[in-house]
Amino acid sequence: MSPHPRPAAARPSAEDRLAEAVPRVRQYLAGLLDGYRPRYAYLRPALERLVADGRRTPLECALPLLVHGALDGGLEPAVPLAGAHVLWWRAANTFDDVSDGGTGTRLYGGDPGAVLIAALECGYALPLRALTALPLPGTLRERLAADFLDGWTAACDGQVGDLLGSPAGTSPEEVLTVYRHKSGAVYGMAATLAARLALGADRADDPRVAAWGEFGQAVGLLAQFRNDEDDLRSGHHEDLGNRTATYLLVQLLHAATDTERERALELLGRAAESAADRRELAAMMFAPDVLAPYQRCLADVHQRAHALLDTLAPDSPYTACLHRRVDDEVRTTAYAVAPAGPHGAHCTLPPGPAVPPGPAVPAGRARGRSGQKV
C-alpha cells in the first residue's frame, strides 16, 4: 500500500452537473418523438429534423435546469421542462425566420410549408403533451400547463407587436412592452415552470414562483437587447433591412433633432436595398445621446436580475451559474460599466465597440446569429 493516500476525487462543480444534464434533455426529446411512431409517419420525421437542425437559442436548456437546481439542489426533475423550453424556441425561431424572409425554397433542409406545420406541433402540442404527462399531482400539472400557455400567449402578442410596430410611430416604452412579451415572457415562463416544480403542489402560490418569473423576464429582456446589438455589430443589419422597431432605433428617432430624425427616416426608407444606408443609420444609433438612456435601461434590468438571484437563492452553487449567465447577456453590449454595490463581484464587462465593425453584408437572416450555449 502506498504511504501517500490517494486524494479524494474532486466533486463535480455545478457547471459540470449542468453539462451532464444537457444530453439528458436531448434524450428526453428523442423519447417524446419516439412516441409519434408509427401513428404519425409524416409528422415525426419533420419534427425530428426541426429539433435537430432548427435554429437554437442561448439558455434554452440551461435556464430551467439551473433555476430548479438553485431551489431544489437537483437538475434531473427539470429535464422535461427544459425539453418543453427547447421545443418552444425551435418553433418560435422557425416562425421568426419565415417572417423575416430569406428562407428560399428550403428551410432547415425541408419543405418550408411542412416545417411550419411541424413548428406548430413542436411549439404547442408537443410541450403540452410533455407537461401533462409528468408523474405529478393533477393540480400541479394543471398549473404547469397554465404557466406554459400564459407564456405562449404573451410571446405571440409580443411577436405580433414586433411585426406590426412602426419605428416612426412607436415609443421606447412601447418597444419595452413588446420585448417583455416577445422574449421576456418565454424566459419568464421557463423560470416559473422550474420554480413551481421545485416548490411542489403544496406551495403553488408561493410568491417566490412569481419572483422567479420576474427574474426570467429580466434575462429575456437582456437577451433581446443582446440579440439586437449582435445584429448591428455583425454588419448584417437585418433588423434595419426589415425596418424592425428595435429599442435603439426607436430611441434614436425619439431623441433626435428634427434634422437628424428626417435623415434617419430617409436612411431607413432605403435600408432594405442599401448597405451604405444601413451602415450610416447603425452609426447614428450608437451616438452617445442615443446610447445613454439605453445603457441606463440595461443597467437597471441587469442589476435587478442579480438582486433577485441574491434574494431568492443566495447560497446555491447553481445561483452562481445563473449570475454568470446574466452577465453573459450584457458582456457584448454597449453596457460597459460593472454595476456598483454587491453585484460588482459578478461582473467584469468590457465595453462593446463604439461603432458596428465588420464588412457589410446583404440584409437578411443570418443563421448563426443566435448560437447555442449551455
Query: Across all residues in the chain, what is the average pLDDT?
Result: 88
pLDDT value of residue 8: 53
Cell numbers 413548428: residue: 119
Question: Is the C-alpha dihedral spanning 213, 216, 218, 221 positive or negative?
Answer: negative
The answer to whether residue 351 scores a pLDDT higher than 80 is no
Q: What count of other Cβ atoms lies within 10 Å of the Cβ of residue 361?
A: 14
* Chain mean position to CA 137: 30
Between residues 308 and 371, the one the model is more confident about: 308
- Give the span between the Cα atoms of 12 and 9, in whole angstroms: 9
At 343, is the pLDDT very low, low, confident or very high (cuts 50, 70, 90)?
Answer: very low
Classify 14-346 by CATH class: mainly alpha
Task: Give the separation between CA 223 and CA 183, rounded to whole angstroms.
Answer: 8
pLDDT of 143 reads 96
Does 38 sit behind a cis peptide bond, omega within 30 degrees of 0 on the bond before it? yes
pLDDT at 63 over 90: yes
pLDDT at 350 over 50: no
Q: Is residue 288 within 8 Å of residue 251, measured between CB atoms? A: no
Residue 50, CB-side half-sphere exposure with 13 Å CA sphere: 32
Give 217's Cβ-side CA count (13 Å radius).
21
Quickly tell me which residue has 437542425 as its cell: 53
* 214 pLDDT higher than 50: yes
Phi, psi of 110 (to 5 degrees): -125, 175
- Phi and psi for 166 in degrees, rounded to 5? -105, 125
Interval 250-305: pLDDT, tens: 999 999 999 999 999 999 999 999 999 999 999 999 999 999 999 999 999 999 99
- Confidence grade of residue 102 (pLDDT, cut at 50, 70, 90): low
Could you tell me how far CA 349 lies from the centroid of its own chain? 20
Question: pTM for the complete prediction?
Answer: 0.87
For residue 108, what pLDDT is reported?
Answer: 83
pLDDT score at 317: 96
Say what the pLDDT of residue 318 is: 98
pLDDT, tens digit, 9 for 90 and up, residues 314-338: 999 999 999 999 999 998 887 644 3
Q: Provide the pLDDT for residue 162.
A: 93
> What pLDDT was estimated at residue 346?
43
Per the listing, cell 417524446 goes with: 32
Domain assignments of the chain as residue spans, ordered by start:
14-346
Three-state DSSP string of 48-90: HHHHHHCCCCCCCCHHHHHHHHHHHCCCHHHHHHHHHHHHHHH
**Cβ contact 84:193 at 8 Å:** yes
| Per-residue DSSP letter, 272 | T
Residue 374 has pLDDT above 90, yes or no: no
**Cα–Cα dist 277/364, whole Å:** 15
Residue 307's pLDDT band (cuts 50, 70, 90):
very high
Looking at residue 205, its pLDDT comes to 84
pLDDT over 70 for what percent of the chain?
86
Per-residue pLDDT band at 110 (split at 50, 70, 90): confident
Q: What is the mean pLDDT of residues 67-74?
A: 97
> 167: which residues sit within 8 A by CB, 6+ positions away?
243, 244, 245, 246, 249, 250, 253, 268
Alpha-helical (H) ranges within the chain are: 14-34, 43-53, 62-72, 79-99, 112-120, 126-132, 138-164, 172-179, 185-199, 207-234, 238-241, 247-255, 258-270, 275-285, 288-312, 317-328
Per-residue pLDDT at 213: 98
Residue carrying the nine cell digits 428550403: 106
Predicted confidence at residue 97, as pLDDT, reads 85
- pLDDT tens string 147-200: 999 999 999 999 999 999 999 999 999 999 999 999 999 999 999 999 999 999
Q: Which residues pair with 110 in a beta bridge?
A: 107
pLDDT digits (tens, 9 = 90+) for 237-253: 999 999 999 999 999 99
Give the pLDDT of residue 3: 60
pLDDT at 6: 53
- Of 80-84, 147-151, 349-353, least confident by mean pLDDT is 349-353
